[in-house]
Amino acid sequence: MTDRSLHEECGVFGIYGAENASSYIYYGIHSLQHRGQEGCGMVTVDTDGVFHNYRGLGLVSEVFNAGLLSGLNGSMGIGHVRYSTFGGGGLDNVQPFYFHHKGGDFALAHNGNIVNADELRSELEDEGCLFRTTSDSEILAHLIRKPHDEDRIDHIKRALNQMEGAFSFLIMTKKRIYACRDKHGLRPLSIAKLGDGYVVSSETCAFDIIGAKYLRDVLPGEIVCIDHHGLRSSFYTEDTSSHICAMEYIYFARPDSMIEGRNVHSFRKESGRLLYRQAPVSADIVVGVPDSSLSAAMGYSEVSGIPLETGLVKSRYIGRTFIQPTQELREMGVKMKLSAIREVVEGKSVVLIDDSIVRGTTSRRIVQMLRDAGATAVHVRIASPPLTSPCFYGVDISDYDQLISANKNVEEVRQAIGADSLVFLDEKTLLEAAPGRCSMCFACFSGRYLTPTFSHKVR
Ligand code: SF4
**pLDDT tens profile 253-301:** 999 999 999 999 999 999 999 999 999 999 999 999 998 899 999 999 9
Q: Which of 10, 225, 245, 441 is catalytic?
A: 10
> CA 139, CA 131: separation in Å to the nearest integer?
8
> What's the CATH code of the domain at 387?
3.40.50.2020
**What's the domain range around 429?**
264-446
44 CB contacts (<8 Å, ≥6 apart)?
21, 22, 25, 51, 52, 53, 72, 73, 74, 76, 77
Query: Do 310 and 222 share a structural domain?
Result: no
Instruction: Quote the crossing angle between the two packed helices 327-337 and 361-372, to the nearest 10°.
Output: 30
204 occurs within a structural domain: yes
Query: Do 63 and 107 share a structural domain?
Result: yes
* For range 25-52, the mean pLDDT: 96
> CA 50, CA 34: separation in Å to the nearest integer?
31
Other beta carbons within 10 angstroms of residue 335's beta carbon come to: 10
Query: Do 286 and 233 share a structural domain?
Result: no
Atom 8, ligand 1: residue with shortest CA distance: 245
The helix/strand/coil state of 189 is coil
Query: Do 413 and 305 share a structural domain?
Result: yes
* For range 448-452, the mean pLDDT: 95
Bridge partners of 14, per DSSP, are 78, 200
Query: Do 214 and 272 share a structural domain?
Result: no
Query: Do 201 and 65 share a structural domain?
Result: yes
pLDDT tens per residue, range 323-352: 444 666 655 666 667 899 999 999 999 999
Q: Which amino acid is at 210?
A: I
Cα–Cα distances in Å, from 130 out to 41, 124, 313?
Answer: 23, 8, 50
332 occurs within a structural domain: yes
Query: Do 231 and 268 share a structural domain?
Result: no
Give the pLDDT confidence score for residue 85 in this predicted structure.
Answer: 55
Q: Quote the number of domains for the chain.
A: 2
Does residue 136 have a pLDDT over 80? no
Give the pLDDT confidence score for residue 92 in this predicted structure.
Answer: 87
Q: Where are the beta strands (DSSP E) in 121-196?
A: 165-172, 177-181, 190-194
Query: Do 179 and 309 share a structural domain?
Result: no
**DSSP state at residue 231:** E
Query: Do 308 and 206 share a structural domain?
Result: no
> What's the CATH code of the domain at 153?
3.60.20.10
Does residue 19 have a pLDDT over 90? yes
Cα–Cα distances in Å, from 292 out to 51, 167, 410, 427, 445?
Answer: 38, 24, 22, 19, 19
* Most ligand 1 atoms within 8 A of CB, residue of 35, 250, 444 to mutate: 444
Q: Is 40 a catalytic residue?
A: no
Query: Do 271 and 217 share a structural domain?
Result: no
Query: Do 300 and 231 share a structural domain?
Result: no
Query: Do 394 and 287 share a structural domain?
Result: yes
185 occurs within a structural domain: yes
Is pLDDT larger for residue 433 or for residue 103? 433
Confidence of residue 132 (pLDDT cuts 50, 70, 90): confident
Instruction: Output the CA 449–ligand 1 centroid distance in Å.
Output: 9
